[in-house]
Amino acid sequence: MTFARAVYPLAVCCALVGAARARAQDPELTHARTVDARPTEPLRMFGLRMPFKTAELSEGGSFTLDYHLGNTWNPTTAVLYPDHRYRLYEADGVIRQLTLRYAQPLAPGWELEFALTSYMLVDGSSPADAIASDRFIEWTHAWLVAQNDPFQRKLNGLDSRASIMLRDLDGQTEQLKAGDAIPGTFDVGLTRYFDVVKRDDWLVTASLNAVVGFPLNRFNEYLAVGLTPGAVVTRRIWRWFSATLAVAVPTQVDQVLRVNPGTGFIDRTASVGYRGMFALTATTNGGVRISAEIEVQGTSPAMANHGQSGAVDPAQVGYASPYVEGTGLERSGNSMRMAAEYMALAVVVTPGHPSRVPTMSIVFQEDWKPFTGSRLMRGFHESDNAQDWGVGLRLEWPIDFVPPQGLM
């Protein structure tokens, strides 16, 4: 008994030392970075769309290439007004979106960002666009959920046309056809991060992001500004595994200054939305990270003034639509008068320390309406097909650049 009493304190001390060593080997706890999956919607893609940011860059700057394919299916519809004027809207095809982004820390907690977005409209018949084509979407409807041509794509010819057309109340029309390319916006943003809690097993950060978006096309006439408050919480679950939850509320003024002589079709003056992300991350001591993420988002309706009669067949205003007579226009109307909501699933891999190797992400995105449809939690039943289905690939390269001391 005397020997046991003597050995017991020594055993406890050894156990504590072993636990401390094990804890010392745990990788640094960091927030999972969002993939910031922004869809290609014809009524929103030409103007400013606020980024979704959760964590500042750890070391140096970064250059990001974001390539996204989005299928859009909104057959021609007209919106009538009491004074007998009307708008026309049409969006069909696959939109290729390329975003180039450079982000640079200025000082601890401060990050500057520049982004340039461009688009190309194609009909979806190329193998390069297969996963976002009409054929792929109708195959999934038929084989996975036993629906035969629910949106009448087959009736109108799969991957047979590409068009984005906006006609405003004054008759000004802008249109893209197959093969046309166009810039979106040039954005300049500044983000301030605030560490609220920073412990071995808990990390809580608040952020405030401000962006100015300069339109570079005739579909959007106005310079816009936006502000996004956000918060992110990360909890270590077990040594190499952590869970991250992030939320943000993007708000923006869409018509600050008229800088382009284009169409006045998109008449919203301000927008507000929500962003959310949940991620499970595995991290090794060498910095290798693998995350599985789900992102959700929503934003205000694309048009402020919907007219007295709502969306109607364009034949009522004498327009010869290229779509088969009787093609349903419900979703074309929804894309204008309802808020947009999207869900994205992503896998994010950093095969080494993030300051030395690129981070790769693959994203799958679908439209749905859990909160803003005619009934709560209707989910996919009131989707608007503004972007029916999207896939994306994102590569983020670290750049070893140190800003001058005392810059901020």
The pTM score is 0.87
pLDDT value at position 71? Answer: 97
- For the chain (408 residues), the mean pLDDT of every run of 10, in chain order, is 44 42 64 91 92 79 95 93 90 97 92 96 95 94 84 91 93 94 96 92 95 94 96 92 96 93 87 96 85 95 77 87 87 87 95 83 93 70 87 91 48
Residue ranges making up the domain that contains 205: 28-399
pLDDT value at position 12? Answer: 43
Q: Which residues, 6+ apart, have CB-to-CB distance to 93 below 8 Å?
A: 71, 72, 121, 122, 123, 124, 161, 162, 163, 164, 178
For residues 219 and 193, the answer to whether their CB atoms sit within 8 Å is: no
Count up the domains in the chain and report the number: 1
What CATH number has the domain bearing residue 293?
A: 2.40.160.40
Residue 345's DSSP bridge partners are: 294, 364
Q: How many CA atoms lie within 13 A of 76 on its CB side?
A: 23
For residues 104 and 128, the answer to whether their CB atoms sit within 8 Å is: no
Q: Using the Cα atoms of residue 236, residue 237, residue 239 and residue 241 in order, give the sign of their dihedral.
A: negative
pLDDT value at position 360? Answer: 95
**CA dist list (Å): 386 to 80, 106, 123, 281, 297:** 20, 38, 15, 32, 14
Question: CA torsion angle for 170, 171, 176, 181 (degrees, to 10)?
Answer: -40
pLDDT value at position 58? Answer: 65
* CA–CA–CA angle 183, 128, 160 (5° rounding): 80
Q: What does R_g of the chain's alpha carbons equal in angstroms?
A: 25
Whether residue 137 is contained in a domain is answered as yes
**SS3 letters across 271-285:** EEEEEEEEEEEEECC
Whether residue 118 is contained in a domain is answered as yes
For residues 163 and 175, the answer to whether their CB atoms sit within 8 Å is: yes
Sequence length of the chain is 408
pLDDT value at position 16? Answer: 42
Place of tokens 């006439």: 221
Structure tokens, 202: 């808990």
Whether residue 328 is contained in a domain is answered as yes
For residues 363 and 346, the answer to whether their CB atoms sit within 8 Å is: yes
For residues 226 and 183, the answer to whether their CB atoms sit within 8 Å is: no
Residue 89's DSSP bridge partners are: 77, 166
pLDDT value at position 7? Answer: 37
Whether residue 10 is contained in a domain is answered as no
**Residue 226 dihedral angles phi and psi, to the nearest 5°:** -145, 160
**SS3 letters across 193-225:** EEEEEECCCEEEEEEEEEEEEEECCCCCCEEEE
Whether residue 19 is contained in a domain is answered as no
For residues 338 and 370, the answer to whether their CB atoms sit within 8 Å is: no
DSSP state of 147: -
Structure tokens, 211: 């962006």
Structure tokens, 293: 């993420």
Separation CA 257–CA 160 (nearest Å): 38
Structure tokens, 381: 């039943």
pLDDT value at position 379? Answer: 64
Whether residue 184 is contained in a domain is answered as yes
Q: Which residues, 6+ apart, have CB-to-CB distance to 356 below 8 Å?
A: 287, 398
Separation CA 103–CA 250 (nearest Å): 19
Whether residue 377 is contained in a domain is answered as yes
Whether residue 310 is contained in a domain is answered as yes
Closest C-alpha among 291, 362, 401, 238 to residue 55: 291
Q: Where are the alpha helices (DSSP H) in 49-189?
A: 134-144, 153-156
